[in-house]
């Protein structure tokens, strides 16, 4: 049987659809929508109840030599009183959890940072504004050598999400060899999270950065400026500078 032009077009479209389905199956059925990402994350973490996305941020990026852009999707979500943040990375048809960002799961409220913004999420629907105070400490074993508190005004991103922006400007290599206690006090949050928590462990200059929880105090206010609630939270210094 000879197909006419219309029949050939329909046949070719059907073959393309079949090929797409087969490729999708071969890649393990990667999630294609934000809600599908949430369902996959929920299943991987054995969370009870459906995860609802609260805030989604997409960002295109690429490496040298790439011929196509990749897309990262940062998601803040909730399931009941459980809040979570996680990152997906998509390259063509492949879309999977990106473990360059460590997923976070907290009860009642959560504080997480990714790529220049600190996100605070919780039962904040009644609040009109928010202030986040982040305290960093430079320690020598158990002794505190310096401390600095950063106060950032929040911007409402969603009904239960506030965003607190911070600068991603990195200091040049001129300070990389300095002892942490000799660094200038005017360092930004991004640079303090990296330089105050560095360790040198050999004569050749081997250098590492240790994980540390930076305590955060989130204060919520109503429209008249009256304080509604305070939350004691924390954020890992790696979240601030490593994303």
Give tens-digit pLDDT for 115-142. 999 999 999 999 999 999 999 998 877 8
Structure-block tokens of residue 97: 């959890």
Q: Determine if the pTM surpasses 0.85.
A: no
At residue 27 the predicted structure's pLDDT band, cuts being 50, 70 and 90, is: very low
| Contacts of residue 69, Cβ cutoff 8 Å, sequence gap at least 6 | 60, 61, 62
CB of 85 closer than 8 Å to CB of 104: yes
Q: Which residue has better confidence, 102 or 64?
A: 102
| Contacts of residue 36, Cβ cutoff 8 Å, sequence gap at least 6 | none
| Contacts of residue 98, Cβ cutoff 8 Å, sequence gap at least 6 | 72, 87, 88, 89
**How big is the chain by its Cα radius of gyration, in Å?**
23
Q: What angle do CA 74, 165, 151 make, to 5 degrees?
A: 135
Sheet with 213-221: list strands edge to edge.
143-153, 129-140, 213-221, 227-236
Sign of the C-alpha dihedral computed for residues 86, 88, 136 and 132 taken in this order: negative
Structure-block tokens of residue 156: 């409402």
**pLDDT above 90: residue 175:** no
At residue 171 the predicted structure's pLDDT band, cuts being 50, 70 and 90, is: confident
DSSP E strands: which ranges in 122-212? Answer: 129-140, 143-153, 155-158, 161-165, 198-200, 207-209
Which tens digit of pLDDT belongs to each residue from 35-78?
999 999 999 888 888 899 999 999 987 665 666 678 899 999 99
């Amino acid at each position: 049987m000879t197909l006419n032009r219309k029949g050939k077009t329909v046949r070719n479209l059907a073959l393309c659809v079949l090929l797409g389905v087969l490729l999708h199956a071969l890649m393990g059925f990667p999630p294609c929508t934000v809600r599908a990402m949430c369902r996959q994350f929920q299943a991987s973490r054995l969370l009870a109840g459906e995860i609802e996305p609260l805030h989604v941020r997409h960002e295109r990026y690429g490496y040298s030599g790439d011929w196509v852009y990749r897309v990262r999707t940062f998601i803040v979500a909730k399931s009941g009183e459980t809040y979570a943040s996680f990152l997906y990375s998509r390259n063509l048809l492949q879309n999977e959890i990106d473990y360059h960002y460590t997923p976070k799961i907290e009860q009642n409220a959560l504080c997480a940072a990714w790529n220049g913004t600190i996100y605070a999420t919780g039962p904040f629907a009644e609040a009109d504004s928010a202030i986040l105070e982040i305290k960093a400490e430079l320690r020598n074993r158990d002794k505190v050598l310096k401390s600095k508190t950063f106060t950032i005004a929040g911007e409402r991103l969603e009904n239960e999400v506030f965003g607190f922006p911070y600068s991603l400007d990195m200091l040049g290599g001129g300070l990389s060899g300095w002892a942490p206690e000799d660094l200038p006090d005017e360092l930004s949050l991004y640079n303090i999270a990296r330089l105050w928590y560095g360790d040198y462990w050999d004569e050749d200059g081997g250098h590492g950065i240790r994980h540390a929880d930076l305590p955060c105090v989130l204060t919520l206010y109503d429209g008249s400026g009256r304080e509604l609630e305070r939350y004691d939270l924390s954020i890992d210094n790696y979240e601030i500078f490593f994303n």
